[in-house]
Amino acid sequence: MPDSRPIGVFDSGIGGLTVVKALRELLPNEKIFYLGDTARVPYGSKSASTVERYSLEITEMLVGEGVKTIVVACNSASAVALPKLERILSVPVVGVILPGAKAAVAATRNRHVGVIGTRATIKSGAYETALSSLSSQVRVTARACPLLVPLIEEGWLNDELTDRVIVRYLEPLIREGIDTLVLGCTHYPLLSGAIEHALGPTTTLVDSARNCATAVQELLDRQQLRAPAGNSGSLEVALTDAPDNFMRVAREALQLDVGEVQLREVLHGAAKL
């Protein structure tokens, strides 16, 4: 039976909107409820236990919104919290790491894949685990890029300083001989043009956000959770703190109409709705 309940999506900030944009393009009939934990952004610099606790709190809020599935549109949360979320939540959960890893294995020609992400994602080794589970012949070179998320959240998407930071981070990966690079943070597709320029034409870029959206589509089809064909898709956005540059970046970089942003507050480890 068709299911008109919304898809719940969360991230620590604006990065998960890259997944929302891909979902809107792929599944235009679906309602989406996006929750950005802007009060505690970024997750990537936090400990694994803290990221897991934040993820449990945010998903509790999404379940309270009556969602039919939850998309963990955050690589840091996918890396450390996804197994527990899959065990305890009453709705199916999709992360961003396995879809990105599958796309990277399909794309690489010399079997050498690079991964960039937050410190929490890279420290977890989640991409190495996912890639090795798919192919024992793939070599992985991973690098944490902690400055990129703050630059993106600040809206410095077309900026000389951001370009220089990207080059500084990518030069060791290029020297190592990668032919495929996984954007292991959903913020990073907002810098895909600058990253492609720094890499050159011989390296394939894998956008984990787009591949995550495809995985969501497959899950909805598999579990018969797709919205009715005539359903009017919509997007609701809620944040845990004032949006600052959130609205501007969403409109200018992603061409997303997020409407009126709602505010949610998380207190003492429980959702206050």
Catalytic residue among 32, 67, 74, 122: 74
For β-strands 69-72 and 112-117, DSSP reports them as unpaired
The C-alpha angle 133, 59, 26, rounded to 5 degrees, equals 65
Are 69 and 91 within 8 A, CB to CB? yes
Number of C-beta neighbours around residue 49 at 10 A: 10
The active-site residue out of 58, 70, 185, 254 is 185
* Known active-site residue 74: yes
H helices of the chain, in order, are 17-26, 48-64, 75-88, 97-107, 119-124, 126-134, 148-153, 160-176, 192-199, 208-222, 246-254
46 phi and psi angles, rounded to 5 deg: -90, 165
Reduce the DSSP state of residue 239 to 3 states and report it: strand
Q: In the sheet where 234-239 sits, what is the strand order?
A: 93-94, 69-72, 7-11, 31-36, 234-239, 262-263
* Residue entry with tokens 């009453």: 90
Q: Which residues are catalytic?
A: 74, 185
